[in-house]
Amino acid sequence: MEKNRRISTLYDQKYRNLVARLVTIRKRINLTQAGLAQKLGVSQPDISKIERFERKIDILEFIQWLQVFSENEHIEVHEIWKEIYEGYCKS
């Protein structure tokens, strides 16, 4: 009997939509990959790899991204989360 193989979430459309929303928000607040990387204490290539689906964003990084976005946009994290979650549910 063949075991069901789970496809990496890196290729899951809902994951890709989530990352696309993060990119949209980053661009909306006029934050470059380099600027985001500096605020997060990582390198610009790390951000690029996440945005190009070469590397997954983990949950702690995801929360850090939301915090940086809320600082730049002066909106609450829960508002950003709501936008991302609603997009997730629609996909």
User: Which residue segments constitute the domains of the chain, with CATH numbers given?
Assistant: 9-90 (1.10.260.40)
The pTM (predicted TM-score) of the whole model is: 0.79
- List alpha helices for the chain, DSSP H: 13-28, 33-40, 44-51, 59-73, 77-90
pLDDT tens digits for 38-55? 999 999 999 999 999 999
For the chain, how far is it from start to end, CA to CA, in angstroms?
32
pLDDT tens digits for 4-33? 666 677 788 888 988 998 999 899 899 999
DSSP type of residue 55: S
Q: CA distances (Å), 28 to each of 3, 24, 60, in order?
A: 43, 6, 22
Query: So what's the pLDDT on residue 39?
Result: 95
Query: So what's the pLDDT on residue 1?
Result: 47
What does the angle CA 23 – CA 7 – CA 5 come to, to the nearest 5 degrees?
170
Residues for the chain: how many in total?
A: 91
Query: So what's the pLDDT on residue 78?
Result: 75
